[in-house]
Structure 1
């Protein structure tokens, strides 16, 4: 399968690239600054410049089977970068797995009261943009992951996803390792169908 990864130079995006190659896929790494990214496996990795804030310059993705988005709101990004990314992928017309955040939009209370408070404190200014980006992705037929706090750590043997509507609200703030999250995103890219709604990765 040919998998495009938006935000491939980020921490989660880098793990997605590694795991996709380990699974035998071809990878199209979509990054803002190609010169800063090394080609991990020549012949199976292509790097394309993809600045979501410049829609006219966004690359054609007609040759990929699925896009996994790992972009977030980075330091130095002005308001609107995340929404611009969602719009760019919606316009591309390719099946998409979009990474959102538990505690934003429709899942604002799904992580529990403590988690909701933490999100308002540390992510408050970005919550509205995250919710808008999710809406754009969902309207375009993407599957959206509402991931809890992402940490370093090993791949969980009990990893799974549940529809948001079936998530039991936890008492303590939930977490997931980056390796586990990347694995579940790729599982969905490989076997999922467009328009699966909002899924919560657990592990």
Structure 2
């Protein structure tokens, strides 16, 4: 499978690249600073900006799936709302319809499944960033893309856990506490999501093995 990674120089994007190569996929890393992407077998590096839909289209043409691990500046309250329409346009121009967007758990109505402490954090410390992510998420259902929205819990730079959990959010009743997942596990989960057509049209939780509770039936 040919996977294009947007935001390939970031903490999460670099792990998506690494985990995709480890799984045997062909990877294209699209980055504003291509020199910051380590050279390795199986990875092609393409330089370009996210607000250049034609350059993006050239980079993703022929790909099976595009994974956006783009975060944006913390102080920019409309970054994803501005960038995502250009990304969608680039994919449409290239004829690539499979797209995975990294959002976050706690964005929009996912916060109703969070603990009281986590909700407090979402409403205060990172409320502006999460509002931007929520607004950008709303763009995808109106697009022609076969999209998946991945909502990881809090991420950290730490040794990988033995496993991680990916669950459609409608199967999740609660996310207790404030679970934290290493970037490597999140990267591996995103490769799984990108490879699995069962996740098309879903918002999915990415968390630790114990960082979720099933919804009651």
Global fold match (TM > 0.5): yes
What TM-score do you get using the length of structure 2 for normalisation? 0.83
CA deviations on 1:42-76 (whole Å, 9 max, x unpaired) are xx22111231233354342221110111111225x
Which residue is equivalent to 1:34?
Answer: 34
Aligned equivalents of 2:113, 2:72: Cα separation in 1:
22
Match of 1:53? 51
Ranges in structure 1 where 5+ consecutive residues have no aligned partner? none
Helix, strand or coil for the counterpart of 2:9? coil
Structure 2 stretches lacking a partner, 5+ long: 209-217
Alpha-carbon distance in 2 for matches of 1:138, 1:144: 10
Q: Distance in 2 between matches of 1:174 and 1:196?
A: 25
Q: 1:176 to 1:29 in 2, by over 3 A?
A: same
Which position in structure 1 is the counterpart of 2:106? 103
Tell me the alpha carbon deviations over residues 7-57 of structure 1, each in whole angstroms, 9 at most, x when there is no partner: 00001111111111111111110111223333222xx22111231233354
The match for 2:78 is 80
The TM-score normalised by the length of structure 1 is 0.88
Counterpart for residue 67 of structure 2: 68
Residue in 2 that maps onto 1:122: 125
Which residue of 88, 91, 94 maps to 1:90? Answer: 88
Deviation at 1:158, TM superposition (A): 4.1
The equivalent residue for 1:170 is 175
How many residues are matched? Answer: 200
For residues 74 and 195 of structure 1, the distance between their equivalents in structure 2, rounded to whole angstroms, comes to 28
Q: What is the root-mean-square deviation of aligned Cα atoms in Å?
A: 2.0
